[in-house]
């Protein structure tokens, strides 16, 4: 990478971060500033950033400043640090000499501004429109409880117990439970192919909510219901006629003779309708050696006299999920000789059907005999022995677990759920949506602290400025809606964090004032100084830990 590209990539990451953090800091400090002025306190400095002042502008009693370190800001109020030695005249504009309720209002204004700003941002997002998962079922496995009850792949859920369903989020909300109990469901669905309606009655069983950040402890589960489907990424046998024409393992079929395909379940049915006496044309998305991004490739097979019909099997195609995309450096898999592109066939003489079979077999390793593994490479079967290694893995819920792994990952074959644009029709609906969304994020943020203390979430999930910078940069690249949503989420986090009862933070000051209300007199200056020092030590320790986590993730450690 040349110096220009390096600087350009660096700037592209820094600019969104500065914009996001700058706006949130401004909003927070503006809350303190406005209420302080409203209460008659003289504000001496309003600064965005810390350290050396780069730009200053004075108007009235206040100096407005832009400072060197853009990781915070402050509002310096007259009489804030020491109320002694102030003349009777100046006591009227001194922070310390305001009554306790006014001081509480000034301190509380900063966090509350972040909360209300999040509502405003989510309000704007609701008017612009945001992406949401459609309430459409993914693959419903035959013989699953969902299939037995009458659900089919591609069903669109219209209502659950007479409640209208618009998004998959509505489905999850309808199935959320505070307590463990069976839940009878009457589900109105619209069939994918025929468009006909059907009402399915089923009893859902309670199980622990996999979303540890939810305030609902249980969900009503019908096994087999999910928004996810297998995609169209193929594994290609060396003997396949399409392999000779350039189709490769890891390619995703996007259309067959002009008919768009999105899911694995559509491939065989689409192929079966074709005449083998006519050419077969596939549009595929794949990445070739030397290409940085995937490109669309057209592959055309001449009419075939030897085939009576087209199918995945007679074309030599299968799902890619048992093919290896990656073998980790220094892993047991690499030591045993596994390579990217290998097709897993058996583990301990058990034939593998899906990637879940691989995970279950490796996780059940007893720590004694090596695992016998068979793979196909270049059309030949190779037998290997691997000794799995105990490693720490982060679960989807954010918890850390120890389990045996060998250091491999598959060529994933999952189609992302279909998305829809969810847009509020009028400002009132948008305001309601913005308020609801802000409240949901607030609950999730509070629950994240609760789960941390309960050890249900690993402390390794705590991130610092680098994590915020990465999130700002990535969402900025995706689009304005995603960037605004990230801004609102971080604004809510600042609201909650600043209310923590830690001296130095706004929440710590509020604790002092509550004690003053109860006692009828403020804490001694000495006690507050000691508390501030302890709070500063806690805050610095947390920042260092978060920064350590950031660098650990960045370096892949």
DSSP lists the bridge partners of residue 183 as 204
What is the radius of gyration, based on Cα positions, of the chain?
30
**Closest listed residue to residue 522, CA positions, set 92, 94, 40, 98:** 98
Q: 424 is written with which tokens?
A: 């509020």
Q: How far apart are CA 304 and CA 302, in angstroms?
A: 6
Q: 366 is written with which tokens?
A: 């007893």
29, 283, 318, 321: which one is catalytic? 29
Helix (H, G, I), strand (E, B), or coil: what is residue 418?
coil
Q: Are 167 and 159 in contact (CB under 8 A)?
A: no
| Residue 207: partners with Cβ closer than 8 Å, 6 or more residues away | 218, 219, 221
Tell me the CB-side half-sphere exposure of residue 281, using CA atoms within 13 A: 8
Based on the residue annotation, tell me whether 29 is a catalytic residue of this protein: yes
| Residue 353: partners with Cβ closer than 8 Å, 6 or more residues away | none
Q: Are 230 and 322 in contact (CB under 8 A)?
A: no
**Closest listed residue to residue 206, CA positions, set 169, 177, 170:** 177
Q: 518 is written with which tokens?
A: 């109860």
Helix (H, G, I), strand (E, B), or coil: what is residue 179?
coil
**Closest listed residue to residue 496, CA positions, set 549, 432, 443, 550:** 443
Torsion of CA 154, 156, 160, 162, to 10 degrees: -150
| Residue 485: partners with Cβ closer than 8 Å, 6 or more residues away | 121, 122, 125, 130, 475
| Residue 505: partners with Cβ closer than 8 Å, 6 or more residues away | 497, 498, 499, 535, 539
For residues 117-126, b (16+ Cβ closer than 10 Å) or e, as one string? bbbebbbebb
Q: CB 176: neighbour CB atoms within 10 A?
A: 17
Q: How far apart are CA 323 and CA 345, in angstroms?
A: 9
Q: How many residues does the chain have?
A: 557
Where residue 161 falls (left for φ over 0; alpha for ψ -120 to 50; beta otherwise) is left
For residues 341-374, b (16+ Cβ closer than 10 Å) or e, as one string? bbbbebbeeeebeebebbeebbeebeeeeebebb
Three-state secondary structure along 37-67? Answer: HHCCCCEEEEEEEEEEEEEEEEECCEEEEEE
Using the 8-state DSSP alphabet, how is residue 323 labeled?
Answer: B
Q: 96 is written with which tokens?
A: 């310390």
Which residues are designated catalytic?
29
């Amino acid at each position: 990478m040349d110096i220009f590209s390096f600087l350009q990539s660096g700037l592209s990451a820094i600019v969104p971060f500065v914009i996001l953090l700058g706006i949130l800091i401004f909003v927070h400090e503006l809350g303190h500033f406005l209420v302080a002025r409203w209460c008659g306190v003289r504000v001496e400095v309003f600064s965005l950033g810390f350290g050396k002042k780069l730009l200053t502008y004075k108007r009235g009693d206040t100096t407005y400043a832009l400072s060197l370190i853009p990781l915070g800001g402050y509002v310096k109020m007259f009489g804030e640090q020491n109320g002694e030695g102030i003349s009777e005249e100046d006591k009227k504009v001194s922070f310390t000499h305001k009554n306790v309720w006014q001081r509480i209002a000034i301190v509380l204004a900063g966090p509350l501004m972040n909360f209300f700003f999040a509502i405003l941002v989510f309000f704007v997002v609701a008017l612009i429109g945001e992406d949401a998962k459609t309430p459409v079922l993914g693959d419903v496995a035959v013989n699953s409880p969902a299939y037995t009850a009458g659900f089919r792949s591609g069903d669109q859920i219209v209502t659950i117990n007479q409640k209208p369903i618009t998004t998959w989020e509505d489905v999850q909300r309808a199935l959320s439970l505070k307590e463990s109990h069976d839940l009878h469901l009457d589900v109105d669905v619209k069939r994918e192919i025929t468009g006909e309606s059907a009402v399915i009655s089923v009893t859902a069983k309670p199980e622990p909510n996999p979303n540890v950040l939810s305030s609902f402890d249980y969900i009503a589960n019908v096994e087999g219901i999910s928004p996810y489907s297998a995609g169209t990424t193929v594994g290609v046998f060396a003997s396949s006629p399409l392999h000779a024409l350039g189709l490769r393992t890891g390619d995703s079929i996007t259309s067959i003779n002009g008919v768009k395909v999105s899911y694995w379940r559509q491939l065989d049915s689409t192929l079966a309708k074709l005449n083998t006496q006519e050419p077969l044309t596939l549009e595929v998305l794949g990445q070739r050696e030397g290409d940085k991004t995937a490109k669309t490739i057209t592959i055309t097979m001449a009419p075939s006299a030897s085939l009576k019909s087209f199918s995945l099997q007679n074309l030599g195609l299968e799902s890619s999920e048992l093919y290896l995309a990656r073998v980790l450096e220094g892993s047991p898999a690499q030591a045993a000789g596994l390579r990217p592109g290998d097709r897993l066939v058996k583990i301990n003489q058990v034939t593998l059907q899906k990637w879940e079979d691989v995970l279950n077999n490796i996780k059940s390793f007893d720590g004694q005999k090596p695992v016998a593994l068979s793979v196909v490479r270049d059309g030949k079967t190779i037998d290997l022995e691997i000794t799995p290694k105990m490693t720490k893995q982060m679960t989807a819920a954010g918890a850390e677990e120890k389990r045996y792994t060998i250091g491999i990952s598959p060529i994933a074959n999952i189609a992302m759920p279909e998305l829809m644009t969810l847009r509020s029709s009028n400002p009132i609906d948008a305001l309601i949506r913005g308020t609801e969304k802000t409240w949901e994020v607030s609950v999730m943020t509070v629950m994240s602290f609760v789960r941390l203390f309960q050890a249900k979430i690993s402390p390794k999930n705590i991130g610092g400025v680098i994590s915020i910078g990465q999130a700002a940069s990535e969402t900025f690249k995706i689009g304005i809606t995603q960037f605004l949503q990230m801004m609102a989420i971080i604004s809510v986090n600042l609201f909650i964090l600043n209310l923590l009862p830690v001296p130095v933070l706004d929440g710590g000051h509020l604790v002092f004032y509550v004690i003053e209300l109860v006692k009828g007199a403020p804490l001694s200056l000495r006690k507050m100084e000691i508390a501030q020092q302890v709070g500063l030590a806690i805050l610095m320790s947390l920042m260092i830990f978060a920064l350590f986590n950031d660098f650990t993730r960045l370096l892949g450690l």
